[in-house]
Structures are given as structure tokens and as C-alpha cells.
Amino acid sequence: AAAAKKLKAEAEEALAEAIPAMEAAKAAVNCLSKNNITEMKSLGSPPSLVVVTGKVVMIMFGEKVNLNE
């Protein structure tokens, strides 16, 4: 029981640290317009940071993403 309590406390601490970053990311995504998405789609081979950002957005919307691609 003590080990479970310790694990729970560690998980809650990690979650408390992650929530502000997630909220900031949501706010950043909410400022995107349809034109921004269209521009990203039009890139034949988008820069790697654009790809990573797109994957993060998909994860936030609950989509399954292959992180190894």
C-alpha cells in the first residue's frame, strides 16, 4: 500500500507539472486559422519542426500518431 501511495504521489506531481504546458499548447493551437492549416498542407515536404508540431496537435485531439515516422 505504501508503494502504491508513493507511485500515486509521483504521478500526481508529474501531472501537476505537465498541465500548465498542456494548457499553453492548447492556447497556441487555438490561435491557428484555417489558412494556417491550408498552408501547412500545401508544403510538399514540410520542415521537421512543422511535422513535429502537427503530430503534437493530432495527439492533443486524441488521434493516434506514429512517432517513429
Residue 9 C-alpha cell reads as 504521489
Burial class (CB in 10 A: 0-12, 13-18, 19+), 21: exposed
Q: How many angstroms separate the CA atoms of 69 and 52, rounded?
A: 10
Q: How many angstroms separate the CA atoms of 43 and 1, rounded?
A: 53
At 9 the pLDDT is: 93
At 13 the pLDDT is: 92
Contact 65, 58 (CB under 8 A): yes
Q: What is the pLDDT of residues 9-56, one digit of tens each?
A: 999 999 998 999 888 888 888 888 889 888 878 878 888 888 888 888
Q: 3-state SS string over 17-30?
A: HHHHHHHHHHHHHH
Q: pLDDT category, 62, cuts 50, 70, 90?
A: confident
Q: pLDDT category, 5, cuts 50, 70, 90?
A: very high
At 68 the pLDDT is: 79
